[in-house]
Amino acid sequence: MSMSAPFALRRNNEIIANDSSWDLYSSGFRNEFMISNEQPSPYQSWAQMQSRQPVQEDTLKSGQLQIERKTIAFILKENPRGRFLRITEDSGGRRNAIIIPSTGLAEFQKLLEEMIKASNELPEKNQPET
């Protein structure tokens, strides 16, 4: 026989509901109560985070590649905080993006060139031998 832990709702550390009043709690009064083991979030609520004003972004240049089943877009943008490159990968309806501040583009280019060089020089391990 399994037993569940006792249930209690608290407001300002005062028990205001127990197991027998669960129906009241679950019928929409949850926002006014807190389960005894719940803690308020130290972070802003999602609604507060979304209430930011949108930042004006100007597109300076854009380009797009189709590689196998992936579409990769490069968009150079500028906003009041500075310039940045947004690289977006769209593959099968899923979208991922990274943003590189313009101050890091030279380092990004250097590392990318190193990766291209290594890819061209190193033999592929999974290639069938002919």
Looking at residue 104, which CATH number applies to its domain? 3.10.450.700
The count of domains in the chain is 2
**Interatomic CA distance for residues 17 and 68, integer angstroms:** 59
Give the residue, 65 or 5, on which the prediction is more confident. Answer: 65
Work out the average pLDDT over 29-43: 55
Residue 74, C-beta contacts closer than 8 angstroms, at least 6 positions apart: 62, 63, 64, 65, 85, 86, 87
Work out the average pLDDT over 91-98: 92
Residue ranges making up the domain that contains 8: 1-37
> Is the pLDDT assigned to residue 1 strictly greater than 50?
no
Q: Is residue 47 part of a domain?
A: no
pLDDT of residue 23: 52
Q: Is residue 93 part of a domain?
A: yes
